[in-house]
Amino acid sequence: MSVLTSCSATFKLAPALVTGNAIILKPSPFTPYCGLKLAEIAQEFFPPGVVQALSGDDNLGPWLTAHPGIQKVSFTGSTPTGIRVMQSCAKTLKRVTLELGGNDAAIICSDVDIAAVAPAITTLALYNSGQVCIAIKRIYVHSSIYPQFLDAMVAFAKTMTVGDGSASDTVLGPVQNSMQYERVKALIASIETEKLNVAFGDVKVTAAQDKGYFISPVIVSNPPDDAKIVVEEPFGPVFPVMQWTDEEDVIRRANNTDMGLGASVWTRDQAQADRVSRQLQAGTVWINTHLELRPDAAFGGHKLSGVGSELGINGLKSFCNIQTIHQKLA
């Protein structure tokens, strides 16, 4: 979690400072020390007060967003919290950038190299135990390769050790906090309630895991589109793998969500990649990869996944007020 938290903070710190702003970094109560450490390091390079950090409980965020002395708020977090941030900022018409939740779809076409792509997709879905806004959350595999692709994903998932991050063989660590742990457990419980087919994993979070918020991966095979595991962002190590046959239909299904942060299409056919990617309703669309960002390319969400963007020229401009000066020439 610390690396991801640092990235989120630097996405805001760097453009704010480059464009001449002072900034207050407010880490989540659940995040580790790295946010405060960034502010501490910044003291060596900037005058006092230019980079500050404040830590506190859930009351601190609303105080900051409502404060009349703050002109811009850039927030990364859940969609419900982002909506509350925007509501608070609206009272003083603060400029707002919101990078919120995602339910990213990956469309796997029939011509992919299964041996190479299946492990990559599994990794990109389970990275950081699924706790990444732009992790793959929904996987659509062409029906002609679905059984083989699913088997390859399950085989790779079996090699991913869950445990203490300090152990050399650990690949997947715990869920970050108790609230999210209970939420993921409830989502996994819905798999059993809805009588969905589990291709890998156990829907019972056992008592042996009570020494930490550890949840082993769960892969759900071909659930209906209205299943809870498909509709909701899990933000944990559980995801569905569905079949598709018709290109227009799978694009419609991938877009059938209130979120639009990221999506990807996997194929060797460049024409198909271009055709599908241009129709996906997401702020970032990858071809034959996922979860990669560039500092010179805008990153933002459509729909309930955000407002505005970070990175790139647009990210810089979001920390500026545009001004036009007209002068009448003699």
Active site residues: 99
With 0-12 / 13-18 / 19 or more C-beta atoms within 10 angstroms meaning exposed / middle / buried, residue 269 is middle
* 21-40 exposure pattern, b = at least 16 Cβ within 10 A, e = fewer: eebbbbbbeebeebbbebbe
Radius of gyration of the chain (CA): 21
C-beta atoms surrounding 316 within 10 Å: 15
Q: Of 118, 142, 140, 156, whose CA–CA distance to 241 is shortest?
A: 140
Distance CA 200, CA 184 (A): 16
C-beta atoms surrounding 128 within 10 Å: 17
Q: Which residues contact 144 (CB under 8 A, 6 or more apart)?
A: 110
DSSP sequence for 28-88: -TTS-THHHHHHHHHTTTS-TTSEEE---STTHHHHHHH-TT--EEEEES-HHHHHHHHHH
With 0-12 / 13-18 / 19 or more C-beta atoms within 10 angstroms meaning exposed / middle / buried, residue 198 is middle
SS3 115: helix
**What Å distances lie between residue 170 and 110, 163, 243, CA to CA?**
33, 6, 31
